[in-house]
Amino acid sequence: MRGVVFRVRRVTEHFVRDLDRILLRRRSAVVVSRGWKCLQYRLGFFLGDGDRARSTRYTVCYGVSRLDSKLAVLRSYPWVYIVAEMKSCWSVTYCCRCKFVDDVGREYEVEEVTLYRKLKRKLLKSGELGDGELRALKSLVYTAEDFAAFLAGIVDSDGCIDDYGIQICIKRDTVEGRIVKAVFDLHGIPYTIISRYHYFHLSKSRKLLDDVLPYALKFVESPEKKAKIQLLVDASKVTSPRKAFTIRDLLQSIRLVYYPKQHMCYLVFHAKINSPKFCLLTTLLRQYGIEFIVNAERKILIPFKQEPENLTKLLKLYKRYNLMIPEPLKEALKIVQERKL
């Protein structure tokens, strides 16, 4: 007995909650809808939550428990047979029958299952994907929108989103992880491997934020994950305000620092290495022949006890821009004069 049959136009969260309550009594049901996701999304979702052992050429199975995963399955296939079983915890198996006949009379196979099995056989046989398999994957995720659909399927099944990017909870060393890695490499998406769990982590690169995630919003079904992706996309468009600075501000920020252990005094500018301030300061100092040292504490040190000519060159620099001589530079001049006496 196949159980109660539901025909719905649009699968909503309220319908899924009502369906769970019905399955407590009926234990099985059939949902017929108009949902039919693209192959890229279905493949990504199947790699995450698919029951690879029970799926066949004409039926794809999912063992899901979360509300968002159930919602994604019901919106991805037009005919779903559901079986609820009481084990150690409440589990629901979604068997999505995709055995359809087209106008010519040919039966329609589940493409994500057949493609997965083809890639799995190649990986188990030779340990890597061949040129034919890579061409098939490349044609599948050729455009940014195709890859976004694939990534959306993985995110809906085994993805976690935080302020630093997206974590894919599929282990790299598994067959599924090797397929995911091949797709990422083909599309040129940078990622890192979390060493403890061997999971993928997609950092907030410009390619991901600008070319992929805006398209992924159209495919992600989980409301919570879609909201988090939207926050990542919106945050990337907001540029943090930078404090405007001038040469006057830079040169007036000089400080006098004494290092007692080294018995050394330095005139110091603070600037992050390779920042605009750092580049401008070092360019000015080189133009006037002023010797300087850059240390790991983001400081530009100008020695003057052993190189008193640095002070003379600094005075020329300040006069060039009609600036008042700062107090640290005056103190350095006094130190050099007292040393001569």
Per-residue confidence band for 301, with pLDDT thresholds at 50, 70 and 90: confident
**Chain centroid to CA 39:** 22
Distance of CA 149 to CAs 46, 97, 242, Å?
Answer: 13, 22, 36
The whole-model pTM stands at 0.66
Assign 321 a pLDDT band (cuts: 50, 70, 90): confident
Q: Can you give the pLDDT at residue 195?
A: 60
CA distance 147 to 219: 11
| Band of pLDDT at residue 88, cut at 50, 70 and 90 | very low
Q: How far apart are CA 165 and CA 206, in angstroms?
A: 11
The listed CATH number (3.30.70, 3.10.28, 2.40.50, 3.90.1720) that belongs to domain 111-237: 3.10.28
Distances (CA, A) of 69 to 75, 201, 230, 275: 10, 21, 19, 45
> Domain map of the chain by residue range?
4-39+48-106, 111-237, 247-340
| Per-residue model confidence (pLDDT) at position 287 | 86
DSSP lists the bridge partners of residue 199 as: 194
User: Which one is predicted more confidently, 217 or 108?
Assistant: 217
